[in-house]
Chain A
Amino acid sequence: QQQVKQSPQSLIVQKGGISIINCAYENTAFDYFPWYQQFPGKGPALLIAIRPDVSEKKEGRFTISFNKSAKQFSLHIMDSQPGDSATYFCAGETSGSRLTFGEGTQLTVNP
């Protein structure tokens, strides 16, 4: 079963706009929630991550919002740029290092 559900499947945003990708998880053993960015033909690369003891983490234009009680977290990309066009994956990781990914969101930022 898919323990991490991600939406939307695809997203089109204008340059300068805000991109929002949402994830929901089931496994309460997850203690680390990373987001990965993947460009075509490349492997995923860690973008930003959060632990469940904080509600928000910001790195530059990228922000994770985390709601532990709702078991939901989201990625906000402010001032989206064409170079942000990629596939984004949320994930949950247990202390035993098992990483479970969401289905992915293909983001397109139009110039």
Chain B
Amino acid sequence: NAGVTQTPKFQVLKTGQSMTLQCAQDMNHEYMSWYRQDPGMGLRLIHYSVGAGITDQGEVPNGYNVSRSTTEDFPLRLLSAAPSQTSVYFCASRVTGGSGYTFGSGTRLTVV
């Protein structure tokens, strides 16, 4: 099992560009989430999904879109990148009724 795989690991965008952060898990987990990590603020929930076809907003959803067409994949789309979206992004998953999320290794995004 590869666990939770995030690509790319690093990305530099110009303001206004769009991109998709990829997240895939091979553990057949129903729950998947996206977080951003900023110094001194912990991890903040962007969007989450409790199963294929079901998504919902977290604490900081503005500027981001998600979709969940399969159990395995949960891509995060930045519509028009802004410097405020410079952050480290983590994808996580867990099984229904399970304990604890499994996190990917993160994508470090810089918007200039």
User: By the criterion of a CB under 8 Å from any partner CB, how many residues of chain B are at the interface?
Assistant: 25
List residues of A (51-95) whose CB comes within 8 Å of B's CBs.
Answer: 89
Q: Is the CB of A97 within 8 A of B43?
A: no
Q: Is the CB of B100 within 8 A of A101?
A: no
Kindly state whether residue B31 has any CB partner on chain A within 8 Å.
yes
A-B contact count (CB 8 A): 56
Could you say which of A32, A43, A102 contacts B104, with CB atoms under 8 Å apart? A43
Interface string of B76-97 (1 = CB under 8 A from A): 0000000000000010101000
User: By the criterion of a CB under 8 Å from any partner CB, how many residues of chain A are at the interface?
Assistant: 24
Q: Is the CB of B43 within 8 A of A89?
A: yes
Could you say which of A32, A99, A104 contacts B33, with CB atoms under 8 Å apart? A99
Query: Chain B interface (Cβ within 8 Å of chain A)?
Result: 4, 31, 33, 35, 40-45, 48, 50, 58-59, 90, 92, 94, 99-106
Query: Chain A interface (Cβ within 8 Å of chain B)?
Result: 2, 4, 6, 9, 32, 34, 36, 41-46, 49, 89, 96-104
